[in-house]
Amino acid sequence: MIALGGTIGVGLFMGATSTIKWTGPSVLLAYIIAGAFLYMIMRALGEMLYVDPQTGSFAKYAQEYIHPVWGYLTSWSNIFQYIVVGVSEMIAVGGYLQYWWPSIPSWLPGLIAITFLGIANLISVKMFGELEFWFALIKVLTIIIFIILGLGVILFGFGNGGHPVGFSNLWEHGFFTGGVKGFFFALALVLTSYQGIELIGVTAGEAQDPQNTLVKAIKSTVYRILIFYVGAIFVILCIYPWDQLNSVGSPFVQTFAKIGITAAASIINFVVLTAALSGTNSGIYSASRMTYNLAEAHELPSFYTKVNRNGVPAYAVFAISFGIFIGLVLNALAPLVFKNAGNAFVIVYSSSTLPGMVPWFVILISETKFRKRHPELLDNHPFKMPWAPYSNYVTLAFLIITLGFMFFNPETNVSLMVGLVFLIIMAIFYFIKFGKKSPQS
């Protein structure tokens, strides 16, 4: 549920039309292809986790199997990604609540929400897990109900005067509508929607019976996410012509309303509210464990390694929560100083895309090094990476190609460059301050 919660977010409910505009109905293939490669990444992570389950695993694997600088960059990428995403989602919380209470200040709900989530994460890992379970369950149930109702419209004409909509909208208005370039532009955006799936690896060191639970989670997570994403978008593309989606508004709201559920807008607003809370909850957990990792490697002050009586790295949780809090305050003050602050924030938010992909590169490279260094551990290993190392190389090539298309896409190249500049600055800082640390042998 944690992995589902980390990947099924506001992007699906609010941004389903953004990927469709680039390539039309063939976006379904983009989700399937991206999901298949993400499964390879999760299997590579699972192979290492089965032998060595650690909190913040992929950052530690990067430090051990590649070079300490990659452990450093992976941890900071995770922290950067989740603080930026957390700020944006807490800002969104204000907008969602204004739907019901228009007079409420937009900044107030976010401040209340981040305070609540920060305290919940400080109490115990169990509290984080309970919250994330229920947040994820709300999203999953909504998508299941949406798919069932949508199939009713498609097959039986529910809400359409008894006339089945059928499947013709999938091809009547074109399938590969943006050509090869449009397909790869969409594929790059689809990949970002899967970010957070590696959160399973961050939780490994704090899971009971990690070998069995992680194997089950990895085996089931990707195909479940594929069902939810592909299923929901398949329904949308069958009911609504892809080139008319911009005039529809939220396809989720419209489909519920078509069936006669008059409270459709309120229901979806509640779901995206929980999706925003879920994303920030996961972000506080993940980024705080990466902060703990950095302190453990003596790359942040040692007090970040201190845990409370429930085993929570309290200072790290507080630091991440406070970082999101400061981001909210700056966002509220920015329009007073910068007239175009809103546009700048969109660029900064999007800049989390490249840092968010760093763990995937690190997992694939670390696994090849892991195999070379510990061949004896693979003899009776029950959860080996399929077709390694060739599957690693093909998946790495796929990630590089999609990043290349992001660079040539005018809507994503600026955010990609911001993320790249962040990684370069952090790498330079590492070598200036910790350059004497030798790579792992």
pLDDT at position 340 is 62
Q: What is the mean pLDDT of residues 205-232?
A: 81
Token pair in block for residue 185: 């532009």
| More confident site: 23 or 341 | 23
CA pair distance 33, 237, nearest whole angstrom: 18
In the predicted structure, residue 172 carries a pLDDT above the cut 90: yes
How confident is residue 339, by pLDDT bands cut at 50, 70 and 90? low
Residue 119 CB neighbours (<10 A): 13
| More confident site: 95 or 151 | 151
How confident is residue 55, by pLDDT bands cut at 50, 70 and 90? low
Token pair in block for residue 262: 């008059």
Q: What is the mean pLDDT of residues 210-230?
A: 82
Q: What is the mean pLDDT of the chain?
A: 87
At 269-298, the pLDDT tens digits run 899 899 889 889 989 999 999 999 999 989
In the predicted structure, residue 90 carries a pLDDT above the cut 70: yes
Token pair in block for residue 165: 């909509």
Report the candidate in 82, 109, 29, 128 with the shortest Cα–Cα distance to residue 321. 82
Return all residues near 394 (Cβ < 8 A) that are at least 6 apart: 40
In the predicted structure, residue 73 carries a pLDDT above the cut 60: yes
CA pair distance 138, 160, nearest whole angstrom: 27
Provide the H-helix boundaries in 374-439: 390-408, 413-434
58: buried, middle or exposed (CB in 10 Å: 19+, 13-18, 0-12)? buried
Task: Reply yes or no on domain 2-87+131-263+341-434 having CATH 1.20.1740.10.
Answer: yes
Q: Locate the domains of the chain by residue range.
A: 2-87+131-263+341-434
In the predicted structure, residue 39 carries a pLDDT above the cut 70: yes
pLDDT at position 441 is 38
Q: How far is CA 105 from CA 108, 111, 113, 167, 380, in A?
A: 6, 11, 14, 44, 59
Residue 173 CB neighbours (<10 A): 15
Q: What is the mean pLDDT of residues 232-261?
A: 87
Token pair in block for residue 349: 């938010």
**Residue 248 has what DSSP assignment?**
T
What residue type is 149 in one-letter code? L
Length of the chain: 441
The lowest-confidence range among 197-211, 257-271, 275-289 is 197-211
pLDDT at position 56 is 65
At 422-431, the pLDDT tens digits run 999 999 999 9
In the predicted structure, residue 408 carries a pLDDT above the cut 50: yes
**CA R_g for the chain:** 22
Q: What is the 3-state secondary structure (H, E, C) of 297-319?
A: CCCCCHHHHCCCCCCCCHHHHHH
Tokens 């939810």 belong to 228
Q: What is the DSSP string of 363-389?
A: HHHHHHHHHHH-GGGGTT-SSPPTTTT
CA pair distance 161, 151, nearest whole angstrom: 15
Report the candidate in 292, 109, 102, 298 with the shortest Cα–Cα distance to residue 202. 292
In the predicted structure, residue 222 carries a pLDDT above the cut 80: no
Q: How far is CA 77 from CA 58, 85, 354, 402, in A?
A: 12, 12, 9, 19
Q: What is the mean pLDDT of residues 45-60?
A: 85
- Measured in degrees and rounded to the nearest 5, phi and psi for residue 436 equal -80, -10
Residue 431 CB neighbours (<10 A): 12
pLDDT at position 260 is 87
At 361-404, the pLDDT tens digits run 999 999 999 999 999 999 889 999 999 999 999 999 999 999 99
pLDDT at position 201 is 74
Residue 339 CB neighbours (<10 A): 9
Q: Judge contact between 389 and 178, C-beta under 8 A.
A: no
What residue type is 92 in one-letter code? A
Q: How far is CA 37 from CA 78, 81, 353, 362, in A?
A: 20, 21, 17, 15
**Region at 437 (left for phi over 0; alpha for psi -120 to 50; beta for the rest):** beta
At 315-338, the pLDDT tens digits run 999 999 999 999 888 888 877 776
At 105-152, the pLDDT tens digits run 888 999 999 999 999 999 988 898 899 899 989 988 999 999 999 999
How confident is residue 348, by pLDDT bands cut at 50, 70 and 90? low
pLDDT at position 10 is 66
Say what the pTM is: 0.89
Cis amide leading into 251 (omega within 30): no
How confident is residue 342, by pLDDT bands cut at 50, 70 and 90? low
